[in-house]
Chains A and B, each alone.
Chain A
């Protein structure tokens, strides 16, 4: 009985030892710091608007601090990118510094468990107070801003407006009246680009300034499950208007098969007059259609009341440090964040990529040669009460299926009321996943 028994256990032990030896060689061991030189890796998404400023910052920072090298690493955008970030954080395999959304998406990373708190760091004093709620959890602050604020609204072709003698609309009724005249003149009034599904959400998301103007408590009540898109008449309007422009036949003919770059081309060429979108695409517009860039202006998505007309604003993304960054790297990472949140940091970003809106770092003037569409956006920031942060920055809950639902509503597959009700259920799933009280 004994001898075979022992050999059985020996075999098991050998396999276990081998498995343990394999498991201990995790990729985290490959980090490098030769001598006094510290090397930081910096993970950003692969869009132009992220990579170019990030590389500009890395270069400028290394010029200033020759003993720290910053390597930019890219990841996919959207849902796939979210999963890369979540998986790397939860397995302790995150880069030393990384870029990620501020606002509701940040909460899903469980910042208290995974990120280094920056509370008490001196460089936070350089940042405008409006930014902090979007990168905080509890009392702690976790990130510094990269890039400028963005507006969600309507890019429009000024040449078409001049030719038809139109005025920038302040209310939805004026907007629809303009659309009727534009259509009569043989131009497609509204450009939509549903091959990039996220672009379909603008009528709903950029309407939030108007929702908040009508129902100032909407964000709190929405987070507490006391109101919702289907229940609130003001919020439902976003879905209804998306359906309205489709039903009126105002969309470009190939809206279902166009990507947003194609939409920008149609706008620049005057084939379409309005393009509801986020202003970060202005960089692409200038790069691809520099001759017509001055023909393109911008206005906020109009609501019911001209007196309350204002802009829904997307705050910049954040730069965060995961808890796995320690020692000399942590010190260097904090220095890098301090650099990003300084006027030198803004300058490096401006040099690398045309700003899409005002910076939220203090003493960061914008250059004079801004594209026309970005200049049109600035007056909203100058007057009090004319900007509202988008809902995803004042509530932790954003349903992940909104873009598919708005594609359906915007293509006439599903009615506005039905779409809003479906989105409510999507929101409920997300709220439960985040463990928010009241759901």
Chain B
């Protein structure tokens, strides 16, 4: 008792109970559910009652055949979307920072998909990607190309959703790159031009290294976004055909939908741990970077 009181006198001008309202809200809405979910993940829970079964839910969850598929799919999805966003956003940003006609308009066009609701995008693209009579395949047919069965072919379903994710997210990545490029002092470019550097050399040796912070941000943001992706996949394929485009989140959701509340809670605990394992070192590394820069 004495410790905090002394600190209170020394540091803060407010009494400690000023913290209470925030503590109550945080406690009831975040801490209690979090710890309750640790407990319920160890039970067979029907909403009406629950029975303690130890670690069985975790055993069942890790034996779930869709889980292995879901884990690999999650990784593939995260890597593909974040890689493509970097590859597409950088040239777009270079284009949109150069002197072109209608630059402001083009910037807003690129950013527009970010503003549209994910569910709306998902439903729209599901219609566009219909194998027969969908606009995309009809357009390809005019060019004499027979389009794939985007969402219903097990080998292309996940990648098709990833492409739509890239279409929707590339605007944000471009925006980050534009900010990164604009913040590079123009002296560097002028000095390079005086030294006789061409456009490509300038890009390779000035622009690319100096917008590294932007690249890091884009990679991290889209990687995390890819790892927790759910809404777009659920709207477009529901993890199908069969289990072929399931990701971790959709596997967990299906357990919940089936009424396996204990099992799906166990899945969420696993997801929590996985995200922690990935994000903690990342944020630590990023924090260190910031100090170095």
- A interface with B by C-beta (< 8 Å): 4, 7-8, 11-12, 15, 19, 79-80, 82-83, 86-87, 89-90, 108, 110, 113-114, 194-195, 197, 253-254, 256-257, 400-401, 404-405, 407-408, 411, 413-414, 422, 425, 429-430, 432-433, 435
B257 touching A401, Cβ below 8 Å: no
A413 touching B241, Cβ below 8 Å: yes
Q: How far is the CA of A195 from the CA of B63 in the complex (A)?
A: 27
Partner of A429, one of B5, B15, B60, B241: B60
Closest to A78 in B: B257
Kindly list chain A residues whose C-beta atoms are within 8 Å of the C-beta of B149: 256-257
B263 touching A411, Cβ below 8 Å: no
Q: How far is the CA of A254 from the CA of B259 in the complex (A)?
A: 32
Interface size on B, residues (CB 8 A): 40
- B interface with A by C-beta (< 8 Å): 5, 15-17, 20-21, 24, 28, 44, 46-49, 51, 60, 63, 65-66, 130-132, 149, 151-154, 238-244, 254, 256-260, 263
Closest to B242 in A: A408
Q: How far is the CA of A83 from the CA of B149 in the complex (A)?
A: 32
Closest to B130 in A: A257
Q: How far is the CA of A113 from the CA of B243 in the complex (A)?
A: 35
**How many residue pairs between the two chains, A and B, have CB atoms under 8 Å in the bound complex?**
102
Kindly list chain B residues whose C-beta atoms are within 8 Å of the C-beta of A405: 242
Q: How far is the CA of A176 from the CA of B9 in the complex (A)?
A: 88
A sample of 15 more A-B contacts (CB under 8 A), given A7-B15, A254-B132, is A8-B17, A11-B17, A12-B20, A15-B24, A79-B258, A80-B257, A83-B256, A86-B47, A257-B130, A257-B132, A257-B152, A400-B254, A400-B257, A411-B154, A433-B260
Q: How far is the CA of A19 from the CA of B32 in the complex (A)?
A: 15
Kindly list chain B residues whose C-beta atoms are within 8 Å of the C-beta of A404: 239-240, 242-243
Closest to A86 in B: B47
The 3 closest A-B pairs by CB, nearest first: A408-B242, A400-B258, A256-B152
Kindly list chain B residues whose C-beta atoms are within 8 Å of the C-beta of A407: 240-242
A–B complex contacts, Cβ < 8 Å, 6 sampled: A4-B15, A12-B17, A90-B47, A405-B242, A408-B241, A414-B242
A110 touching B259, Cβ below 8 Å: no
Kindly list chain B residues whose C-beta atoms are within 8 Å of the C-beta of A422: 65
Q: How far is the CA of A7 from the CA of B44 in the complex (A)?
A: 43
B17 touching A83, Cβ below 8 Å: no
B48 touching A79, Cβ below 8 Å: no
Classify the interface of chain A: helix, strand, loop or mixed.
helix
Q: How far is the CA of A42 from the CA of B104 in the complex (A)?
A: 54
Closest to B18 in A: A11
Q: Determine which residue in A80, A411, A435 has the highest number of CB atoms from chain B within 10 A of its CB, and name it.
A: A411
Closest beta carbon of chain B to A355's beta carbon, Å? 31
Closest to A90 in B: B47
Kindly list chain A residues whose C-beta atoms are within 8 Å of the C-beta of B154: 411, 413
Q: How far is the CA of A4 from the CA of B66 in the complex (A)?
A: 57
Q: How far is the CA of A401 from the CA of B254 in the complex (A)?
A: 9
Q: How far is the CA of A363 from the CA of B51 in the complex (A)?
A: 46
- If A108-B259, A408-B242, A411-B242 touch, does A114 touch B48 (CB 8 Å cutoff)? yes
Q: How far is the CA of A407 from the CA of B245 in the complex (A)?
A: 13
Kindly list chain B residues whose C-beta atoms are within 8 Å of the C-beta of A425: 63, 65
Kindly list chain B residues whose C-beta atoms are within 8 Å of the C-beta of A79: 254, 257-258
Q: Determine which residue in B20, B238, B259 has the highest number of CB atoms from chain A within 10 A of its CB, and name it.
A: B259
Closest beta carbon of chain B to A108's beta carbon, Å? 6
Kindly list chain B residues whose C-beta atoms are within 8 Å of the C-beta of A413: 154, 241-242, 244
Closest beta carbon of chain A to B41's beta carbon, Å? 14
Q: How far is the CA of A82 from the CA of B263 in the complex (A)?
A: 17
Kindly list chain B residues whose C-beta atoms are within 8 Å of the C-beta of A7: 15, 17
Kindly list chain B residues whose C-beta atoms are within 8 Å of the C-beta of A19: 24, 28
- If A114-B48, A256-B241 touch, does A400 touch B152 (CB 8 Å cutoff)? no
Closest to B5 in A: A4
Q: How far is the CA of A262 from the CA of B77 in the complex (A)?
A: 31
Q: How far is the CA of A79 from the CA of B261 in the complex (A)?
A: 13
Closest to A8 in B: B17
A429 touching B254, Cβ below 8 Å: no
B60 touching A86, Cβ below 8 Å: no
Closest to A15 in B: B24
Closest beta carbon of chain B to A18's beta carbon, Å? 9
Q: How far is the CA of A207 from the CA of B73 in the complex (A)?
A: 34
Q: How far is the CA of A188 from the CA of B45 in the complex (A)?
A: 46
Closest to B263 in A: A429
Kindly list chain A residues whose C-beta atoms are within 8 Å of the C-beta of B152: 194-195, 256-257
